[in-house]
C-alpha cells in the first residue's frame, strides 16, 4: 500500500486537483474534511465531537482524525493506497499515517495568504456530486447547473466565511506548516506553485508524480 498526500492551506486547490488526478493515480481520494462534514450531518458521535472545532475554524483533535483514518484504510478500495486531501495536518497525524501506509509523494500546493480569502469566500460545490466551483475563478458553464452531473442544487460551506477562514489560516501556519520540514527531510516533498491556472497546476502535479 503506497499513498499520496495533497498538502496546502485551506483553499489551495487540494480538492480541485484531487478530482482531476484520481484517474491517473488510480487512488481513491480521501478528504478528512468531507468525512467530518458527513459525520456532522449524520449526527454520529464523531460528528458531534468535531462540530465545535470545525465551526470555530480550529483543528479537530488528532485522536478523532486518526481513528477515522484507521477505519477508512480497512475498506476494500484502500488496498493499493489512498490519495489524502487535507490529512495529515499535524506531526502526530503524520506519524500515525506512517504506521499505516508508505507515503511516496507529498504534493504541496503553495498559495500566498492574500489569495486564500477570495478563494474560500467564492467557493461553492454541487450538492449532488461534490464538484467544486468558484464564483469568479471556476464557475459552472451554465449558471447554477453542475458541469459534471447536471444537478441544479449548489451548496456553500458554513465555515467558508471570512472570519473562520482567518482562523483556519492561523491553524495552518501554527500546526500544519511544520509538517513541510518533516516531509522535506524524508525527500518526498514536492512544491507546486498553486497561484496559477488550474490546468497548469494539474500538469505539474502529474509530472511530480511520475
Ligand atoms: P482546498 O481543497 O485546498 O480547500 P479547493 O479545491 O476547494 O481547495 O479550492 C478552493 C476554491 O478555489 C474553490 O472555489 C476552487 O474552485 C478555487 N480554485 C481552485 N484552484 C484554483 C486556481 N488554481 N485558481 C483559482 N481558483 C482556484
Ligand atoms: P479546507 O481545506 O478548506 O481547510 P477541509 O474540508 O479540509 O477544509 O477541513 C474543514 C475543517 O475540518 C477544518 O477547518 C478542521 O476543523 C477539520 N479538519 C479536516 N481535516 C482535518 C485534519 N486532518 N485534522 C484536524 N482537523 C481537520
Ligand atoms: Zn454535480
119 annotated active-site: no
Distance in angstroms (rounded) separating the CA atoms of residues 98 and 42: 29
Q: Ligand 1: which of 11, 114, 205 to mutate, judged by most atoms within 8 Å of the beta carbon?
A: 11
Q: Which residues sit with Cβ closer than 5 angstroms to ligand 3, an ion? A: 126, 128-129, 131, 146, 148-149, 151
pLDDT of residue 186: 96
Q: What atom of ligand 2 comes closest to residue 15's alpha carbon?
A: 2
pLDDT along the chain (210 residues), means of 10: 97 97 96 97 98 97 98 97 98 98 98 96 96 97 97 96 96 97 97 98 97
pTM: 0.97
Is the C-beta atom of 47 inside 6 A of ligand 2? no
CA of 194 to the centre of ligand 1 (A): 9
157 annotated active-site: yes
pLDDT of residue 13: 98
Is the C-beta atom of 33 inside 6 A of ligand 2? yes
CA of 158 to the centre of ligand 2 (A): 13
Distance in angstroms (rounded) separating the CA atoms of residues 72 and 68: 6
Residues 183 and 94: beta-carbon distance below 8 Å = yes
Is the C-beta atom of 9 inside 6 A of ligand 2? no
Residues 8 and 44: beta-carbon distance below 8 Å = no
168 annotated active-site: yes
pLDDT of residue 203: 98
pLDDT of residue 208: 98
CATH 3.40.50.300 fits 2-111+172-208, yes or no: yes
Rounded to the nearest angstrom, the gap between the alpha carbon of residue 174 and the centroid of all alpha carbons in its chain is 18
CA distances from 134 to 95, 140, 193 (A): 34, 8, 19
CA of 156 to the centre of ligand 3 (A): 13
> Of 201, 206, 210, 209, nearest to 8 (Cα)?
201
Q: What atom of ligand 2 comes closest to residue 34's alpha carbon?
A: 6
Residues 126 and 154: beta-carbon distance below 8 Å = yes
CA of 59 to the centre of ligand 2 (A): 6
Amino acid at each position: 500500500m503506497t499513498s499520496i498526500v495533497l498538502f496546502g492551506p485551506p483553499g489551495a486547490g487540494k480538492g480541485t486537483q484531487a478530482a482531476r488526478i484520481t484517474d491517473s493515480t488510480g487512488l481513491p481520494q480521501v478528504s478528512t474534511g468531507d468525512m467530518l462534514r458527513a459525520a456532522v450531518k449524520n449526527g454520529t458521535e464523531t460528528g458531534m465531537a468535531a462540530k465545535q472545532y470545525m465551526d470555530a475554524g480550529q483543528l479537530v483533535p488528532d485522536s478523532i482524525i486518526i481513528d477515522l483514518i484507521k477505519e477508512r484504510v480497512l475498506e476494500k478500495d484502500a488496498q493499493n493506497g489512498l490519495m489524502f486531501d487535507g490529512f495529515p495536518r499535524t506531526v502526530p497525524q503524520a506519524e500515525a499515517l506512517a504506521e499505516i501506509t508508505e507515503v511516496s509523494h507529498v504534493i504541496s500546493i503553495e498559495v500566498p495568504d492574500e489569495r486564500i480569502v477570495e478563494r474560500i469566500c467564492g467557493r461553492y460545490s454541487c450538492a449532488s456530486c461534490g464538484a467544486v466551483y468558484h464564483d469568479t475563478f471556476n464557475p459552472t458553464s451554465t449558471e447554477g447547473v453542475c458541469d459534471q452531473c447536471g444537478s441544479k442544487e449548489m451548496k456553500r460551506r458554513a465555515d467558508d466565511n471570512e472570519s473562520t477562514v482567518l482562523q483556519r489560516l492561523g491553524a495552518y501556519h501554527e500546526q500544519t506548516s511544520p509538517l513541510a520540514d518533516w516531509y522535506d527531510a524524508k525527500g518526498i516533498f514536492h512544491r507546486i506553485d498553486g497561484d496559477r491556472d488550474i490546468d497548469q497546476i494539474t500538469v505539474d502535479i502529474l509530472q511530480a508524480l511520475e
